Amino acid sequence: MKIDNVKIINLPKIIDERGNLSFIEENIHIPFKIKRSYWIYDVPGGEIRGGHAYKENQEFIIALSGSFDVILDDGKKRKTFSLNRSYYGLYIPKSIWRQMENFSTNSLALILASIPYDPSDYIYDYEVFKDQVK
């Protein structure tokens, strides 16, 4: 997959004096069926998450609270996305190397995934990843 297939997707935003509301429906706002959701929170300052690619899993990442950076790499090009609003997210196709860093205090990252958790879907070695995407 190419880095150009990564995209920021704006979500519906229902503005209301009582507080705003956003939502996501699978296959409508994001291009996959949601098989799993997980979230990353209580990240100590300076910590880095990720550092791997998935063979099949596609993800959509939203900064529900606070901010953090997602650094993506397709084996040729690298791009950094700063997420800091809860009404848009980052769509990452399969086979893209990712790292998450610069988490602000009390940041909350929600990740929607296209497959159930499967350790064999991970590629942890960047050189192996680069070889596979050649």
Active centre residues (catalytic): 52
Q: Please, which of residues 87-126 interact with ligand TYD by CB under 6 A?
A: 117
Contact 94, 56 (CB under 8 A): yes
Instruction: Tell whether residue 49 is a contact of ligand TYD (CB under 6 A).
Output: yes
Instruction: Tell whether residue 50 is a contact of ligand TYD (CB under 6 A).
Output: yes
Segment lying near ligand TYD (by CB under 6 A), choices 12-20, 34-42, 73-81, 82-90: 34-42
Q: How many residues bind ligand TYD (CB under 6 A)?
A: 6
Contact 56, 113 (CB under 8 A): no
Instruction: Tell whether residue 85 is a contact of ligand TYD (CB under 6 A).
Output: no
Contact 79, 3 (CB under 8 A): yes
Interface residue list for ligand TYD (CB under 6 A): 36, 38, 40, 49-50, 117
